[in-house]
């Protein structure tokens, strides 16, 4: 599953300069984006802290585990990222491309194994890069009810779209693009009562 990962620095250099390995490079860059940084882990734990103790779930090579669990509220959390990849700047605002990115990120969350957490709410946080936000109409797509129905999965209990912190046009990214929380009725009151006021809570 991770055969594209470089074996050493020489292999990494070859991956970036050898055109025949462009596919490996794109897979590697995508993999890097999905690695949870210490700052992101701290932010996720703080965001969900009022709902209980947000614990990191140990990785298991035999299955695709969620990133975090909150036992008190019975919530599972997966964290991923969407960004513009190499070569995509020529189709920057293609709604089909952007919608596909959202679907892929949601599929990434759906594919996680919740078998040992029976009855838990399933969902995740999708970080959105500042480049993607500033160069595309991602937020407009997500806020369009018709488009939203096509890309938000009914199999999950919640999805949070969280802009990565950055300055866009001399303004904070989360001021220009308030975090979007798509959530089912069963979790709305929990999220409304415990998330920051600038988070837009939207029922799905």
Average pLDDT over residues 94-98: 82
The pLDDT of residue 112: 95
The Cα–Cα gap between 133 and 204 comes to 23
Closest to 122 measured CA to CA, from 69, 180, 59: 69
Distance, in Å, from the CA atom of 160 to the CA atom of 101, rounded to the nearest integer, reads 15
Task: Tell me the per-residue pLDDT of 172-183, one tens digit each, with 9 for 90 and over.
Answer: 788 889 999 999
Phi, psi of 14 (to 5 degrees): -65, -40
Q: 3-state DSSP call for residue 174?
A: helix
Kindly state the average pLDDT of the residues 52-78. 94
- Pair type for strands 75-82 and 68-70: antiparallel
* Candidate from 3-7, 49-53, 199-203 with smallest mean pLDDT: 3-7
Predicted pLDDT at 21 = 81
Share of the chain above pLDDT 70, in %: 82
Kindly report the pTM of this predicted structure: 0.81
Residue 152, token pair as written in the block: 């938000």
Residue-wise pLDDT for 142-190, tens only, equals: 999 888 888 888 889 999 999 987 655 556 788 889 999 999 999 999 9
Closest CA to 81 of 92, 67, 60, 69: 67
Q: What is the pLDDT of residues 17-62, one digit of tens each?
A: 788 887 776 666 666 555 667 888 999 999 999 999 999 999 888 8
pLDDT digits (tens, 9 = 90+) for 107-128: 999 999 999 999 999 999 999 9
148, 140 Cβ separation under 8 angstroms: no
E strands present in 34-117: 54-56, 68-70, 75-82
Select from 139, 141, 142, 160 the least CA-distant residue to 79. Answer: 160
């Amino acid at each position: 599953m991770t055969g594209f990962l470089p074996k050493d620095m020489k292999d990494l250099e070859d991956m970036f300069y050898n055109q025949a390995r462009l596919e490996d490079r794109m897979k590697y860059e995508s993999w890097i984006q999905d690695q949870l940084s210490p700052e992101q882990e701290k932010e996720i734990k703080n965001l969900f802290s009022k709902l209980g103790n947000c614990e990191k779930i140990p990785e298991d090579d035999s299955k695709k585990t969620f990133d975090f669990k909150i036992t008190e509220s019975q919530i599972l959390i997966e964290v991923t990222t969407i960004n513009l990849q190499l070569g995509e700047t020529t189709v920057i605002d293609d709604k089909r491309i952007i919608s596909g990115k959202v679907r892929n990120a949601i599929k990434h969350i759906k594919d996680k194994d919740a078998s040992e957490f029976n009855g838990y709410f399933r969902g995740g946080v999708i970080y959105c890069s500042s480049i993607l936000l500033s160069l595309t109409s991602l937020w407009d797509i997500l806020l369009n009810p018709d488009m939203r129905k096509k890309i938000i999965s009914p199999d999950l209990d919640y999805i949070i779209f969280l802009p990565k912190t950055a300055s866009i046009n001399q303004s904070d990214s989360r001021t220009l693009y308030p975090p979007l929380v798509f959530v089912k009725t069963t979790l709305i009151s929990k999220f409304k009562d415990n998330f920051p006021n600038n988070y837009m809570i939207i029922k799905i």
